[in-house]
Amino acid sequence: MKKLILNITVNPKNDILSGLTVALALVPEAVAFSFVAGIDPLVGLYGAFMMGIVTAVFGGRPGMISGATGAMAVVMVHMIQQGNQVGLTLDIPIENLGLQWLFITLLFVGGIQILAGVFKLGKFVRLIPHPVMMGFVNGLAIVIFLSQLGLFKDTGTGGTDWLQGAEMWTMVGLVLLTMGIMFGLPKLTKKIPAALTAIIVVASITIFGNLDVGTVGSFIIEGGGTGLEGSLPTFQNQIFGLFSTLEGHWGLILSTAVILAAVGLIESLMTLNLIDEITETRGSGNRECVAQGGANILNGLFGGMGGCAMIGQSLINVDSGGRGRLSGIVAALALLAFVLFGAPLIEQVPLAALVGVMFMVVIGTFAWSSFRILNKIPVSDAIVLIAVSAITVWQDLAIAVIAGVIISALVFAWKNATMIRARKHIKEDGTKIYEIWGPLFFGSTQNFNAKFDAKNDPDNIEIDFIESKVSDHSGIEAIKNITNKYLGLGKKVKLTHLSPDCKILLLKAEPELEKIIESSIEDPRYHVVTDMMDSEV
């Protein structure tokens, strides 16, 4: 029971206050991403609530925040638009068909993510190289920063022109005030959450000072919404009629579902990994996969936008002292309460305060040490770090991470491909020995083959793998091909010190090679160790 309580909260006050701070930051984020996806803001807000509450209770680690995200929104928008176009051509009583297609897609997204957790695919996030991680957080910081710049533009001009004069200076001043409070308050006391305090102070100044500034409410209305107030979406009661609209469009639904599931899992597991490093604790990637999947299924059933872990909000939560599951629970419930009961008050929160909070998140997220170490790490790692940062800004987080892992894997394969060596010497009886050193795998087979001179070698050959590890099927094929080449020339070949697993694979591929595999020779290095131990005794 004690362990369960500690998992929920270690410090209730910090978790509650940090949860409230996160909830305030979630509102404009969910609204903005709803506009990106082309859906009503309420769908995004309710989706953020359902993602948040499910993952807070059942997710892979305490303190991590989930909600509606931009990475998934940009994937959704194409399908939603195409669904709406199809709806215009059908004579069925279903409004906003693209949104209804999204709900069906989320059912598949959730199923895929749950399967990823069941088959324990979450552990593969541990294989992400450190340069990819640094490039990821740097790119993320830049993306968050750029996303906030749009709030410094005049929505009356369609968001193309910057604010002018007093409007701009007021906005900048309030942003700097927010950042100043968040920077200075922790130096005086850490008992009060700096982000929440900054939001309250700046909101009070704008409300009581009657300042004409952009607020959450004006942001929603100018984006095409009607406000935060509304009712919960209802379950689709025309489900059979809805499925009938998908004839000929299942490819779009399933492909979108796979992409959404992959993007959601990558972003969530990367967030988990980042929070693990910050808090020096370890979460469960597989459990997070299942929780994310369950939350997306609920969104599909009850009319939410769906989503995944949110790195910016998770960092706000952790920086504000949120360490337990209670912080995520409070954030989700507070978000729901804002929508249902506190909409008029939350709509008065100035955007400048939320921008200031996000700018401080950017400063805390960016790996500034990467500038210092850039010329001290291998060139390949530096290229990976910069490439991942750039791709994150240019495309999205998921593509950047995948590209970074692929580049790192190719660099690793190339380096190991050049490491294979062959020491050559002749025994007294005329047998030529090839002592192989280094890994034998798909990348090194060409160099391995180049070490041998089958045509000019003597009649007796011994290939010694005492310092080599055969890693894959390509390595097995390389051994089989070189031995067959010698045998084809009528020469004798003996393979020594092959690992047991390599012997099994080699004999399965070519049973006739059993007669040339030496099984009785022991590793001579063992004799040295044994002799040393005997002499010490």
pLDDT band at 232 (very low <50, low <70, confident <90, very high): low
What would the pLDDT profile of 168-213 be if each residue is shown by its tens digit? 999 999 999 999 998 998 888 877 778 888 889 999 999 999 998 8
pLDDT at 524 over 70: no
The predicted pLDDT at position 529 comes to 41
Token pair in block for residue 78: 């194409």
Number of H helices, E strands in the chain: 23, 8
What would the pLDDT profile of 459-500 be if each residue is shown by its tens digit? 999 999 988 888 888 988 999 899 989 999 999 999 998 888
pLDDT at 316 over 50: yes
Mean per-residue pLDDT over the chain, rounded? 84
Q: Where are the domains of the chain?
A: 2-372, 421-536
pLDDT at 91 over 70: no
pLDDT at 239 over 70: no
CB 455 within 8 Å of CB 487: no
pLDDT, average across residues 155-176: 85
The predicted pLDDT at position 526 comes to 40
The predicted pLDDT at position 237 comes to 44
Report the candidate in 64, 19, 17 with the shortest Cα–Cα distance to residue 331. Answer: 19
Provide CATH code, domain 421-536. Answer: 3.30.750.24
Q: What are phi and psi of 476, to 5 degrees?
A: -60, -45
The predicted pLDDT at position 533 comes to 38
pLDDT band at 531 (very low <50, low <70, confident <90, very high): very low
**In angstroms, what CA-CA distances link 453 with 135, 239, 456, 484?**
45, 70, 6, 13
pLDDT at 436 over 50: yes
The predicted pLDDT at position 4 comes to 52
Q: Name residues whose C-beta falls within 8 Å of residue 158's C-beta, 6 or more positions apart in sequence.
A: none
CB 256 within 8 Å of CB 76: yes
pLDDT, average across residues 378-389: 91
pLDDT at 5 over 70: no
Global pTM value:
0.70
pLDDT, average across residues 503-519: 80
* Cα–Cα distance for residue pair 302/236, rounded to 1 Å: 8
What would the pLDDT profile of 27-76 be if each residue is shown by its tens digit? 877 877 787 777 878 888 899 999 999 999 999 999 999 998 877 887 88
